[in-house]
């Protein structure tokens, strides 16, 4: 299974995926391309360190959108890389209909909350402010909403009485780095089934 990873930031989830591939923990998965909309993003440094093909492709002038000619540039690059799945790892732009149509039910994302709770940015801060006792992370298919696609898997993280935003975020990231490679292995093994909003994992 060939994956293309899109990210805008430090790239810790990508690094976890790349380590899992390099160690053999994640089998039958090739990282075909890593793309960032930020020229000097950490994810590109990680990609170079792991010897993965990577590119900076500028996006639109809008901070949260990917549409028009920049969107087509992404689609062209992903198709040229023969990506089976598009894996979002801290990509801070909304995926629009053209890319969703180009890769139907083949774009996945990881989000630092137990969706549908706390979509959007800084979800760990939202969780602390709301006072929940359990939060976590979610891997889901991407649709045209804000973190609203069908849920594939989740991992729970307790919120401790002495948590700060930084400490809670760090523990959520620990679970993200375990969950994302696991879901990619399910996809590579052909175990993920989707019907409407319901996603099941087949035992093969």
The catalytic residues are: 111
Count how many Cα atoms sit within 13 Å of the Cα of residue 34 in the half-sphere of its side chain: 32
What does the DSSP 8-state code read for residue 140? E
Rounded Cα–Cα distance for residues 112 and 159 (Å): 13
Between strands 151-158 and 134-141, the pairing is antiparallel
Rounded Cα–Cα distance for residues 175 and 113 (Å): 11
Query: Is the Cα torsion angle 56, 59, 62, 65 positive or negative in sign?
Result: negative
Q: Strands, DSSP E only, in 2-121? A: 2-7, 30-36, 54-56, 85-88, 107-111
User: What are the residue ranges of helices labelled H in 42-86?
Assistant: 42-49, 69-80
Count how many Cα atoms sit within 13 Å of the Cα of residue 169 in the half-sphere of its side chain: 10
């Amino acid at each position: 299974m060939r994956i293309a990873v899109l990210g805008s930031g430090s790239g810790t989830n990508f690094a976890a995926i790349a380590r899992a591939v390099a160690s053999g923990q994640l089998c039958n998965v090739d990282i075909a391309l890593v793309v960032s909309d930020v020229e000097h993003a950490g994810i590109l440094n990680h990609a170079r360190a792991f010897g993965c093909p990577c590119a900076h492709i500028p996006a639109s002038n809008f901070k949260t959108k990917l549409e028009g000619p920049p969107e087509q540039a992404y689609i062209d690059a992903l198709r040229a890389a023969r990506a089976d799945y598009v894996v979002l790892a801290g990509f801070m732009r909304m995926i629009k209909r053209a890319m969703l149509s180009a890769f139907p039910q083949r774009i996945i994302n990881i989000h630092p909350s137990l969706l549908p709770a706390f979509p959007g940015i800084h979800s760990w801060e939202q969780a602390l402010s709301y006072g929940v006792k359990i939060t976590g992370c979610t891997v889901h298919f991407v649709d045209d909403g804000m973190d609203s696609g069908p849920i594939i898997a989740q991992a729970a993280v307790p919120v401790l009485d002495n948590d700060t935003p930084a400490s809670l975020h760090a523990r959520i990231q620990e679970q993200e780095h375990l969950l994302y490679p696991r879901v990619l292995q399910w996809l590579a093994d052909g175990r993920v089934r989707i019907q409407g909003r319901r996603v099941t994992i087949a035992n093969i």
